[in-house]
Chain A
Amino acid sequence: MSEQEKRVGVYVCHCGHNIAGTVDVEHVAEWSQHLPNVVISRDNKFMCASTGQEQIEEDIKEFGLTHVVVASCSPHMHEKTFRNACARAGMNPYLFEMANIREHASWVHPNDRDGATNKAKALVSAAVHRVIHHEPLEPMQVKIRPETLVVGGGIAGIQAALEIADAGYHVYLVEREPSIGGHMAMFDKTFPTLDCSACILTPKMFDAGAHPNITLLTYSEVEKVDGYVGNFTVRVRKRARMVDEDLCTGCGSCWDKCPIKVVDDVFEAGMGYRKAIYRPFPQAVPKYPVIDVENCTYFKTGKCRMCEKVCPTEAIRFDMEDQYVDLEVGNVILATGYKLFDCRRIPNYGYGRLENVFSSLEFERLTNAAGPTEGKVVLRDGETVPESVAIIHCVGSRDKNYNEHCSAICCMSSLKFAHLVMEKTGAQVYNFYIDMRPISKGYEEFYHRILSEGTTFIRGKVSEITDAAHAPDEEGKLIVVAEDTLIGKQRRVPVDMVILAAGLEPRADSQAVGYMFGVGCGDTGFFTERHPKLDPVATATEGVFIAGACQGAKDIPDSVAQGAAAAARVLGTISRREVALEPVRASIDESRCSGCRICNNMCPYNAIDFIEAEGVSRVNPALCKGCGTCVAACPSQVITGAHFTFDQLMAEIDGILVDVTGEMPLVTEVI
């Protein structure tokens, strides 16, 4: 089709008052009539309404439009809507272009009608200039394997795995620790109902362990991911347990007799010990122990083998080696959870220095009936019952020095702690908070319950926790120094015990894990969802979903909901059997590629391979997301981004530089 034969239709949307309240929409539509190749230009109250869409369809037929421009909201909102309208009228949907005159014009210049109108004209002009360079594109269809990989066996991952397995499809559940369960397995009671964590979690863990459609890969990690939606190949490293799972009955003789005691930093949060051969907790799934080779005497000195001697089924295997398992899956759900903020980073709170300052997870273990004190709330000495306890909210959260975000759960866990401390010790409890944020169902009621139980709430950020007494009643105590903002006074509250409600942070390796799966991490380091409101469990990589606290700080109900939501998304793609991939992607003109390999490590999705034999680089179209990084990087300019070609971008720039006031093209004469 020659340039002159191209026939463009332009539709300028009022969006009610959203656009028309600021932009002179009728004028923009009228002005656009004179842009090159435009045969019809209209304004419309709501383009996305069925009448607006039908108008496009009718015009395509009546005026023989070859290209369409809609000037309205963000393409994130309605690009699909209008592409579909074009497709219904028989036009290739990629011959459509959208100009965003709402977010980019009316909303950002609410008090400048002329300016916003001119900007809208420039944006329409850019779209019209660009669209005539658009080429028809066809999506690529790929088959979906029905197997799913779930990474992380916390409550979110378990929920997701069970949903998919119950629907009849196979799941590989990969967990780094010797047992699934995640953080929830560490708790005694859960807010706001105070029901026993183990009682509600262990049945699910057991189901996941026994489900015919779930293959558990614990003590394992994903090493490598290749492929694309529907067809991922994943390499999992199963660390050697040194215990033969086929023989071990989980009787516990080995860890009973093992002479080596190790501080358990993971499950016991450093509060208790485990053996060198251990199972993190009695309800662990699977029930088999692992040998911690770094601490085992045999691995260190070649002597001991006590566990081997006592094991009735001869299950100990000192020569076991790591195994690699290659999996083929269609979809992936990341549910890797969070890590607790390290309270040592706030030195003036004394954690690690003042012995009776506890982190929240430490307290969870302290209060847990299966924990190191069998649930007795006592000081570090293991016996003294505190008479007064301070609970500090927002530790490492809502603070520009550490994490700007609110960790969402710590107000509630702090209230839970207040209740548990009072219940178990009768101590006087002080909760130091900045704002109280018990926002979910039943949470405000829980707050009122704790208020009525007699906890003292002090509104103010704690500046310091110290053991330097200023008065006789502070002697031998921890003094919590804070400004009470409700009475406008500095306060010093002497207590026996302090609990720091530490915030939730992304896993230390979240960047690396995200990179491996093609998932970005936002400013906070939590995995980035495709859309924060409308697509919270999908990611920028097709076929990779996120659930639970790895996506952002959240409580158990929300983690479970996301686990189930991610499972539903996966089941959706499985039942479609194939997915259509966006055709917006890069391709390399291999006849002109110099093989310089600049692009090779640029692709965030590992979509570029170097073909050694031919000395050229090649894009795997199923992996490419069309991000454009390589297109910009290629110094030979032989990579083209479909739908973002050089011609299209240059035309768009030409279009935006049109003089919107005098209808004369801008002269950019240089001396």
Chain B
Amino acid sequence: MSEKPKLALYWASSCGGCEIAVLGLHEKILNVAEAFDIVFWPCVMDFKYADVEAMDDDSIDVCLFNGAIRNDENARLAHLLRRKSKVMVAFGSCASGGSMPGLANFTDRDAMFDWIYHKSPTTDNPDGIVPMKHTDVPEGDLELPGFWHTVKTLAQVVPVDYFLPGCPPEASSIEMAVNAILTGQLPPPGSVIGPDVTVCDECPREKHEKKIKRFYRPYEIIPDPDTCLLEQGLFCAGIATRSGCGARCPQVGMGCRGCYGPNEGVVDHGAKILTGIASVLDAQTPEEVDAILDTLPDPAGYFYRFHLPDSLLRRRARANGEKIVAPASEAAGEPA
């Protein structure tokens, strides 16, 4: 038996970037491998769910769980790993706030399937086949994980001890978290591991009083290299986003997208970006406000890019006012 703490890594509804980020630790990944006994990491090594089920409860010391919860399988693994792990870390923005998969909450399952399997111009589906939970084939019943109406964050499904935001988390953030875990110098459970100031704090660009007449897309202007991007009309969520990334995007002239999520104490990331942005519009009348906002395409997408599922909005209601009826299991955050 090894004396090393046991580590599990799992990938739910996510792009895989978080996995790459762990590998992106480069030679330091070896330190992780040295410090921990990796007991489950399906992306990299061959494990079966049954292996995990066979483990004793609380036998895993730390689970780094990335990805949002959007189907029964995600939820099943979340519950399973929670049971088996002493410390559950929501790793990355999808697990923390819902992130990109969570933008699906601006629509619903039926509308999405309709587009993807029927209407999208690149769809070729003459038989109109749609994924279903159960499909009868001669060999028996094929089962797919049930696809949820609403994307949830990990913490909306199981209790989470720590959050490590980032899309994906920077190597420095991961290191900080791993070191904190190894040395036991952890903040109180429920905390986000990271600074409690926003990206602007780390951003070296010069900040002035801000008043803007319109927004520009990044390709439309070459920004001044030393001045705050937002002042130059480029959307930047750095004003409302937790720092920890080293302000990497604004430093290279690309406005912060907001991936580290809301600052400490903030409930609704999008609302804070919105109030910040609203405060810099140089407008006297509602018409002028509208004209400026017209230059910002997809504001809801910009503001809630990383935290729609755990915002106060959570999801969009159906346009026709019809209730979205989800199975009780989904409402309870459990696999069917």
The stretch that binds B, out of A220-228, A319-327, A630-638, is A630-638
Task: Say yes or no: A637-B265 contact (C-beta < 8 A), given A596-B198, A669-B331.
Answer: yes
Query: From residue 401 to 451 of chain A, which have CB atoms closer than 8 A to chain B?
Result: none
| A597, B210: Cβ atoms closer than 8 Å | yes
| A670, B315: Cβ atoms closer than 8 Å | yes
Indicate whether B178 reaches chain A with its CB closer than 8 angstroms. no
| A636, B210: Cβ atoms closer than 8 Å | no
Please list the 4 inter-chain residue pairs (A to B) with the smallest Cβ-Cβ separation, ordered nearest first: A635-B276, A635-B240, A594-B200, A594-B201
> Which B residues form the contact surface with A (CB < 8 A)?
149-150, 196-201, 207-211, 228, 238-240, 243, 263-266, 272-273, 275-276, 278-280, 314-315, 324-326, 330-331
Query: How many whole Å from B227's CB to the nearest CB in chain A?
Result: 12
Task: Say yes or no: A600-B209 contact (C-beta < 8 A), given A594-B239, A635-B240, A671-B331.
Answer: yes
Q: Which of B149, B150, B197, B243 has the most chain A CB atoms closer than 10 A to its own CB?
A: B197
| B263, A595: Cβ atoms closer than 8 Å | no
Q: Which residue of A lies closest to B280 (CB)?
A: A598
Q: 8 extra interchain contacts, Cβ-Cβ under 8 A, other than A597-B208, A636-B239, A671-B326?
A: A597-B207, A599-B279, A633-B276, A634-B275, A634-B276, A636-B198, A671-B149, A671-B324
How long is the Cα–Cα vector from A646 to B324 in the complex, in angstroms? 31
How long is the Cα–Cα vector from A646 to B262 in the complex, in angstroms? 15
How long is the Cα–Cα vector from A600 to B266 in the complex, in angstroms? 20
A–B Cβ pairs within 8 angstroms, 21 of them: A594-B198, A594-B201, A594-B239, A595-B200, A595-B201, A596-B207, A596-B228, A596-B276, A597-B207, A597-B210, A598-B279, A598-B280, A601-B211, A634-B275, A635-B240, A635-B273, A636-B239, A636-B240, A636-B263, A637-B263, A671-B149
Q: Contacting A592 at CB < 8 Å: which of B149, B197, B324?
A: B197
Chain B residues whose CB sits within 8 angstroms of the CB of A646 once the complex forms? 265
| B150, A671: Cβ atoms closer than 8 Å | yes
Q: Which residue of B lies closest to A630 (CB)?
A: B279
| B275, A632: Cβ atoms closer than 8 Å | yes
Chain B residues whose CB sits within 8 angstroms of the CB of A601 once the complex forms? 209-211
Indicate whether A602 reaches chain B with its CB closer than 8 angstroms. yes
| A633, B207: Cβ atoms closer than 8 Å | no
Chain B residues whose CB sits within 8 angstroms of the CB of A594 once the complex forms? 197-201, 239, 243
**What is the 8 Å Cβ interface bit string for chain A, positions 635-662, against chain B (1 contact, 0 not)?**
1111000000010000000000000000
How long is the Cα–Cα vector from A596 to B239 in the complex, in angstroms? 6
Chain A residues whose CB sits within 8 angstroms of the CB of B199 once the complex forms? 594
> Which A residues form the contact surface with B (CB < 8 A)?
592-602, 610, 632-638, 646, 669-671
How long is the Cα–Cα vector from A593 to B240 in the complex, in angstroms? 11
Task: Say yes or no: A636-B197 contact (C-beta < 8 A), given A597-B210, A600-B209, A671-B149.
Answer: yes
Chain A residues whose CB sits within 8 angstroms of the CB of B275 once the complex forms? 632-635
Q: Which residue of B lies closest to A597 (CB)?
A: B207
| A637, B272: Cβ atoms closer than 8 Å | yes
Chain B residues whose CB sits within 8 angstroms of the CB of A602 once the complex forms? 279
Chain A residues whose CB sits within 8 angstroms of the CB of B150 once the complex forms? 670-671
Q: Which of B211, B239, B279 has the most chain A CB atoms closer than 10 A to its own CB?
A: B279
Interface of A is mostly: loop
How long is the Cα–Cα vector from A636 to B201 in the complex, in angstroms? 10
| A635, B198: Cβ atoms closer than 8 Å | yes
Chain A residues whose CB sits within 8 angstroms of the CB of B265 once the complex forms? 637, 646
Q: Which residue of A lies closest to B211 (CB)?
A: A601
Query: How many whole Å from B215's CB to the nearest CB in chain A?
Result: 16
How long is the Cα–Cα vector from A646 to B272 in the complex, in angstroms? 13
How long is the Cα–Cα vector from A646 to B264 in the complex, in angstroms? 13
Chain B residues whose CB sits within 8 angstroms of the CB of A635 once the complex forms? 198, 239-240, 263, 272-273, 275-276
Query: How many whole Å from A72's CB to the nearest CB in chain B?
Result: 32
Chain B residues whose CB sits within 8 angstroms of the CB of A592 once the complex forms? 196-197, 264
How long is the Cα–Cα vector from A398 to B265 in the complex, in angstroms? 51
Chain B residues whose CB sits within 8 angstroms of the CB of A595 once the complex forms? 200-201, 207
Chain A residues whose CB sits within 8 angstroms of the CB of B280 once the complex forms? 598
| B200, A596: Cβ atoms closer than 8 Å | yes
Q: Which residue of A lies closest to B149 (CB)?
A: A671
| B198, A597: Cβ atoms closer than 8 Å | no
Task: Say yes or no: A633-B208 contact (C-beta < 8 A), given A594-B198, A671-B150.
Answer: no
Q: Which residue of A lies closest to B282 (CB)?
A: A601
| B314, A670: Cβ atoms closer than 8 Å | yes
Q: Which residue of B lies closest to A632 (CB)?
A: B275
Chain A residues whose CB sits within 8 angstroms of the CB of B228 once the complex forms? 596
Query: How many whole Å from B260's CB to the nearest CB in chain A?
Result: 13
| A671, B276: Cβ atoms closer than 8 Å | no
Chain B residues whose CB sits within 8 angstroms of the CB of A598 once the complex forms? 210, 239, 276, 279-280
Q: Which residue of A lies closest to B237 (CB)?
A: A635
Q: Which residue of A lies closest to B279 (CB)?
A: A633
Q: Which residue of A lies closest to B199 (CB)?
A: A594
Q: Which residue of B lies closest to A670 (CB)?
A: B314
How long is the Cα–Cα vector from A633 to B211 in the complex, in angstroms? 14
How long is the Cα–Cα vector from A297 to B112 in the complex, in angstroms? 78
How long is the Cα–Cα vector from A600 to B209 in the complex, in angstroms? 6
Chain A residues whose CB sits within 8 angstroms of the CB of B149 once the complex forms? 671
Chain A residues whose CB sits within 8 angstroms of the CB of B198 once the complex forms? 594, 596, 635-636
Query: How many whole Å from A593's CB to the nearest CB in chain B?
Result: 8
How long is the Cα–Cα vector from A635 to B266 in the complex, in angstroms? 9
How long is the Cα–Cα vector from A669 to B314 in the complex, in angstroms? 11
How long is the Cα–Cα vector from A595 to B230 in the complex, in angstroms? 13
Chain B residues whose CB sits within 8 angstroms of the CB of A599 once the complex forms? 279
How long is the Cα–Cα vector from A596 to B199 in the complex, in angstroms? 9
Query: How many whole Å from A332's CB to the nearest CB in chain B?
Result: 26
Chain B residues whose CB sits within 8 angstroms of the CB of A637 once the complex forms? 263, 265-266, 272
Chain B residues whose CB sits within 8 angstroms of the CB of A669 once the complex forms? 331
Chain A residues whose CB sits within 8 angstroms of the CB of B263 once the complex forms? 635-638
Query: How many whole Å from A653's CB to the nearest CB in chain B?
Result: 10
How long is the Cα–Cα vector from A596 to B238 in the complex, in angstroms? 9
Query: How many whole Å from A606's CB to the nearest CB in chain B?
Result: 12
How long is the Cα–Cα vector from A596 to B150 in the complex, in angstroms? 35
Q: Which residue of B lies closest to A669 (CB)?
A: B331
Query: How many whole Å from A603's CB to the nearest CB in chain B?
Result: 11
Q: Which of B199, B208, B263, B315 has the most chain A CB atoms closer than 10 A to its own CB?
A: B263
Query: How many whole Å from B177's CB to the nearest CB in chain A?
Result: 21
How long is the Cα–Cα vector from A637 to B276 in the complex, in angstroms? 10
How long is the Cα–Cα vector from A595 to B150 in the complex, in angstroms? 37
Q: Which residue of B lies closest to A633 (CB)?
A: B279
Chain B residues whose CB sits within 8 angstroms of the CB of A597 once the complex forms? 207-210
Q: Which of B149, B196, B201, B325 has the most chain A CB atoms closer than 10 A to its own CB?
A: B201
| A671, B330: Cβ atoms closer than 8 Å | yes
How long is the Cα–Cα vector from A636 to B237 in the complex, in angstroms? 11
How long is the Cα–Cα vector from A637 to B278 in the complex, in angstroms? 15
Chain B residues whose CB sits within 8 angstroms of the CB of A610 once the complex forms? 209
Query: How many whole Å from B121's CB to the nearest CB in chain A?
Result: 31
Chain B residues whose CB sits within 8 angstroms of the CB of A596 once the complex forms? 198, 200, 207, 228, 238-239, 276
Chain B residues whose CB sits within 8 angstroms of the CB of A633 once the complex forms? 275-276, 278-279
How long is the Cα–Cα vector from A658 to B263 in the complex, in angstroms? 29
How long is the Cα–Cα vector from A610 to B228 in the complex, in angstroms? 16
Chain A residues whose CB sits within 8 angstroms of the CB of B238 once the complex forms? 596
Q: Which residue of A lies closest to B274 (CB)?
A: A635
How long is the Cα–Cα vector from A669 to B325 in the complex, in angstroms? 12
Chain B residues whose CB sits within 8 angstroms of the CB of A600 once the complex forms? 209-210
Query: How many whole Å from A463's CB to the nearest CB in chain B?
Result: 31
How long is the Cα–Cα vector from A596 to B200 in the complex, in angstroms? 6
Chain A residues whose CB sits within 8 angstroms of the CB of B264 once the complex forms? 592
Chain A residues whose CB sits within 8 angstroms of the CB of B315 once the complex forms? 670-671
How long is the Cα–Cα vector from A507 to B18 in the complex, in angstroms? 62
